[in-house]
Amino acid sequence: MTVDGSAIAFAFRGKSNKEQHRVVVDRPLATLVHALLRTPGTRLFRYVSDGVWHNLSQREVNEYIRRLTPARYTAKDFRTWGGTLRLAIVLSDIGPAASEREAKKNVVLAVRLVAAELGNTPAICRGSYVHPIVLARYLDHGDTILPRARQKTAGGHYPEERALIRFLDRHFPERRRRPRPDAAVGLGR
């Protein structure tokens, strides 16, 4: 891993020992990663407790998430949210298909693009990191997310995130105990 100004270049082995390469441009994150690289040990994510350095484990990350939210989320839920959001954005950018065959081709293309970004195969991406309702609504009805605003909302969500939340509220309301009040607002194409 290298840090150059606001750019971070990651090179690591992912699942199935597959070599992964990612570049992230974010000055605050680059500053943090640069500081983490100066800590002792070979792992990036570490912390000091009582003067002793410890590697951060998946269990500790999930426990931290549980303390922050009343919902029962894990780190994988955030990866699934990211994959679902990215796929919804790609389908929205592609737009509605002119035929059932074109819709299937668009889904295959979108899944391949998102899988490449996540470092997974299309099958793993579709089966584990994309909510099936997004695919089903696109294939059956041509529905996609439709971001309205250009800036973060008052709740701190980007327009695409807010649009996906509205989409899921509309087409998968049973995921919540009580639907959001704005769930009835039209969302898609």
Q: Are residues 102 and 169 in the same domain?
A: yes
Q: Are residues 94 and 177 in the same domain?
A: yes
Alpha carbons 183 and 43: distance in angstroms, whole number: 43
What is the CB neighbour count within 10 angstroms for residue 48?
10
- Cβ-contact 83, 125 below 8 angstroms: yes
pLDDT of residue 153: 64
The domain that holds 110 is classified in CATH as 1.10.132.120
Total domain count, the chain: 2
- Residue 128 in any domain: the answer is yes
Q: Are residues 108 and 167 in the same domain?
A: yes
Model confidence band, residue 152 (pLDDT cutoffs 50, 70, 90): low
Q: Are residues 85 and 175 in the same domain?
A: yes
Beta strands, E only, 45-143: 46-49, 52-55
pLDDT digit string (tens) for 15-24? 778 888 889 9
- Residue 67 in any domain: the answer is no
- Residue 63 in any domain: the answer is no
Model confidence band, residue 150 (pLDDT cutoffs 50, 70, 90): low
Domain limits for position 34: 2-56
- Residue 80 in any domain: the answer is yes
